[in-house]
């Protein structure tokens, strides 16, 4: 009895391990992806770190569906942000990666801001914007 309990526990642990490392290509198309703020016009290699305190920056998307596109909006946030800024992104490359602007950097007046990113989805399935 004890031995079968241990074997069942091992099988359950292995099943969880395989579920945890399931590849990204197994994800169904839809409201996928992550967005990050990166300092300056680029980075040495595609990194998924977030740099929220910057003077110049670009928006970098990861793990979206290949070919996906959409819009973004940056809103001034209390206590010091001001203004609203809009743009478009995409299409994402085959790896689901995109950046905006593509080759330069953006800058905003000093303050607090919040980024919202929407993906154009077929038939508008549920899912809100991604935020930073």
Question: What's the chain look like in SS3?
Answer: CHHHHHHHHHHHHHHHHHHHCCCHHHCCCCCCCEEEEEECCCCCCCCCCCCCCCCEEEEEEECCCCCCCEEEEEEEECCCCCCEEEEEECCCCCCCCEEECCCCCEECCCCEEEEEEEECCCCCCCCCCEEC
Residue 4 domain-assigned? no
* pTM, entire model: 0.68
Residue 96 pLDDT: 92
Query: What average pLDDT is seen over the chain?
Result: 76
Q: How far apart are CA 12 and CA 6, in angstroms?
A: 10
Residue 37 domain-assigned? yes
Does position 19 have pLDDT exceeding 50, yes or no? Answer: no
Residue 5 domain-assigned? no
Residue 64 domain-assigned? yes
> With left for phi above 0 and alpha for psi between -120 and 50, is residue 111 left, alpha or beta?
left
Residue 45 pLDDT: 65
More confident residue, 27 or 98: 98
For residue 124, give its domain range.
32-131
Residue 93 pLDDT: 94
Residue 49 domain-assigned? yes
Number of domains observed in the structure of the chain:
1
Residue 53 domain-assigned? yes
Residue 19 domain-assigned? no
75: tokens are 């809103």
Note the pLDDT tens digit of each residue in 64-123. Answer: 999 999 999 999 988 888 889 999 999 999 999 999 988 889 999 888 999 999 988 655
Residue 27 domain-assigned? no
């Amino acid at each position: 009895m004890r031995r079968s309990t241990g074997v069942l526990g091992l099988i359950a642990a292995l099943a969880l391990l395989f579920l945890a490392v399931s590849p990204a290509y197994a994800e169904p198309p839809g409201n996928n992806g992550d967005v990050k703020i990166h300092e300056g016009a680029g980075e040495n290699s595609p990194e998924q770190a977030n740099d929220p305190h910057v003077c110049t920056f670009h928006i970098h998307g990861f793990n979206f569906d290949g070919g996906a596109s959409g819009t973004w909006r940056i809103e001034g946030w209390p206590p010091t942000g001001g203004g609203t800024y809009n743009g478009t992104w995409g299409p994402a490359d085959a790896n689901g990666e995109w950046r905006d602007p593509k080759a330069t950097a953006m800058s905003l007046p000093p303050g607090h801001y919040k980024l919202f990113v929407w993906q154009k989805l077929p038939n508008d399935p549920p899912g809100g914007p991604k935020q930073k």
